[in-house]
Structure formats: C-alpha cells, structure tokens
Structure 1
Amino acid sequence: MKVGIMSDTHDNLPAIRLAVDFFNKEKVDLVIHAGDYVAPFVARELSKLNAPLRGVFGNNDGEREGLKEKLGIKDEILTLNLDDLKVIVLHGTDERIVEALAKSQLYDIVIRGHTHRHRIQEVGRTIVVNPGEVCGYLTGVKSVAILNTKEREVRIINLETEEILGIMSL
C-alpha cells in the first residue's frame, strides 16, 4: 500500500494543488493529513485526490464543524492498521505526547505535523514521521511524505523539485 502523508496546508491552495497532483501521479492508495487545514474551503482542492483522505485536527483548525462536514475530520488522534503496521496520527502540538507515544513502542509509526519541519526519526522500533509543511510558509519548502507499506520505506519529498529530502526503511 502506498500512503501519502501531508500536514500544515494552512489554506495555501496552490500548494495543496501541488500535493494533490503529486499524490495522484504517485497513485497513492490513501492520504493522511496531520492537521492544520485551517478552513473548510480547502476541501475543494482535497476532493480532487484519487485516494481516500483521513486526518486529524490541528491547532489552527478553527472551523471544525465545517471541516467535519466537508472532509469528515472528527478527531485529534487517529489510529490505523496499514498492512499490519500500527499507525497513530496526531498534529503534535504537545511534544510530550508525541514523545510518550514514540517511547511507548505501541505503534510502528507515529505521524505528526505542527513544527513545519520535515523529519524521520527512529525511537526504538517506532518511526516518527513529520512530512513538513505543504504550505511552505515557515521553511520555504513545500513537502510531503510517501509511506510504502510493502517496501517498508518512508520518503520525504520536496513538492516543487520532487527531490527526496529524507528516506528511512522501517
């Protein structure tokens, strides 16, 4: 299974379009959003995904009822089983919670956002994935991640250049 991972889109419609086009070109089976969509009008661009979208709220998602209605987002934490990989998704506003989830070793993968900085980190047998920011507002880099559950690999990609920014085997 190929899973697209994104976070921190912050209403940047051209950047969301880039991410959607990239995920569609990569033929992902699922897209996970780790929060901070911001407003429900982003649903128009996200609806162009050829794969289902699952996600969580972030700290800047003020219009939660609209996001719930348009995108089906309803939680701050989401757990998934992806080809026998236990995955937890959260925005990651509180670093202590992210750290506790990683150290608990209950999950194979912890997907988080919030910092706007892309990173893949190994904590024991758990991999913490932050795809960075789609919006590009803080770092200047618009990035996403691809998790390939069959190949047991995660890659972080710069959306504008399609350069691989980070890679790790699970």
Structure 2
Amino acid sequence: MKIAVISDSHDNMPNLRKALRWIEKEKIKTILHCGDICNSDTLWEMTALFSGKIYIAFGNADDRLGITELVKVKKFSNVFLCGEVPQRAGSRHSGIGEVVVGGKKIGFCHFPEIAREMAESGKYNIVFHGHTHKPWESKVSHCRLVNPGNLAGLFYKASFAVYDVETEKLELKILEILD
C-alpha cells in the first residue's frame, strides 16, 4: 500500500492539480499534507480532485481557522485535521499528525525541529515534515526522517514523496517529469 506525502503547496493550483491527477492515476488512497496548504480554496480543490483520505498538519502559512471552518461546514468525510486549531498565531505544536498504515506508525508535521523530536521519541517508523521546501532524508536512531520537498516549486523543483508501507520504499516525485 502506497501513500503520497505532500507539503508546502502554497496555493499553487496548477501543481496541486497535476500531482493529484498522478496520485489518483496511481490509485493511491491516502495523502499526508505536512502543512502550508495556505487557504481553504486549496483544500476545496483537493477534495474535488481526490476521493481518498487527506490528513493535514497545519503549517505557519495556513489559514487555520478558514480551513477548519470549511471542514466543519462541508463535513468532508475524507479530511482529517491533525492537532488543535491554535488559539494564537505562531503555535508550532498544534499540527502534529500520526497515522498507522499497513502496520507502520507514521508521524508528520510541518516544522523540522518538531519532526526531529518525534523521530527521537522512538514511537514512529518514519516521520515526514515540510517547511524548508528542500527534499531531504536522514535517519534518527531507527526512524527515517523525511522532507518530501514542496509542491509549490519555491526555491527547489516541485516535488512530493510516495511511501510504500509494505516494502518501505520511498520515492521522490519531481512534478515536471511526471507522466
């Protein structure tokens, strides 16, 4: 079973559409978004183009209240907001997500410092994060720590990750070379 991991889409609708079309074509049924979707229109677009489960950890550029209200009003059955909606701006611990897929415990968040703490905790097989926009993989103890890059294509080529929970194979997908 494969999951797609995206981050830092920053309202780039053309890139989001291209990635979601590829994800649907590959029959991937779960997306983890590591934050910086930005506004609720982008989430609306995601739900229109992707019928699988969407798990979201908030980032620093997200309209958290707008996204939360959209999810409440539309009652999306496939969207799961992880963590709390912060009561103040700049709350970094609000968007921590965890899922178990195929027996693998997967953590995800936006900020690399928090992701490192999650990896060091020993609770996860793999932890994903965003924020830096740079695709990256390292190992913390027995946990893989991964940044899938950014879907917006800011500073680095637009990218996302595909993780096969059965084989533990991790692939970086560069948007401009996708079929």
Out of 94, 105, 108, which is 1:86 matched to? 105
CA–CA separation in structure 2 for the residues paired with 1:128 and 1:147: 12
Letter in 2 for 1:59: N
Letter in 2 for 1:159: L
- Report the 3-state secondary structure (helix = DSSP H, G, I; strand = E; otherwise coil) of the residue aligned with 1:127: strand
Number of residue pairs the alignment of both structures matches: 159
Letter in 2 for 1:91: H
Out of 150, 159, 167, which is 2:166 matched to? 150
Conservation of the 8 A alpha-carbon contact between 2:12 and 2:152: yes
Query: What percent identity do the matched residue pairs reach?
Result: 30
- Report the 3-state secondary structure (helix = DSSP H, G, I; strand = E; otherwise coil) of the residue aligned with 1:160: helix
Conservation of the 8 A alpha-carbon contact between 1:91 and 1:112: yes
Conservation of the 8 A alpha-carbon contact between 2:55 and 2:82: no
Matches within 5 A, 1:69-84: 69-71=69-71, 72=79, 73-75=81-83, 76-84=95-103
Matches within 5 A, 1:1-170: 1-47=1-47, 48-61=49-62, 63-71=63-71, 72=79, 73-75=81-83, 76-92=95-111, 95=113, 97-139=114-156, 141-162=157-178
- Report the 3-state secondary structure (helix = DSSP H, G, I; strand = E; otherwise coil) of the residue aligned with 1:18: helix
CA RMSD of aligned residues (A): 1.6
Letter in 1 for 2:115: V
- Give the TM-score taking structure 2 as reference length: 0.83
- Give how far 1:22 is off: 1.4
Conservation of the 8 A alpha-carbon contact between 2:116 and 2:145: no
Q: Structure 1 residues 16 and 134 mapped into 2: Cα distance closer, same or farther (>3 Å)?
A: same
CA–CA separation in structure 2 for the residues paired with 1:12 and 1:162: 17
Structure 1: state its 5+ residue gaps. Answer: 164-170
Match of 1:166 in 2: none
Question: Cα deviations across residues 107-130 of structure 1 (Å, max 9, x unaligned)?
Answer: 111111101001122222101121
Conservation of the 8 A alpha-carbon contact between 2:7 and 2:151: yes
- Give the TM-score taking structure 1 as reference length: 0.87
- Range 16-25 or range 42-51, more displaced: 42-51
Structure 2: state its 5+ residue gaps. Answer: 72-78, 84-94
- Give how far 1:21 is off: 1.0
Conservation of the 8 A alpha-carbon contact between 1:82 and 1:149: yes
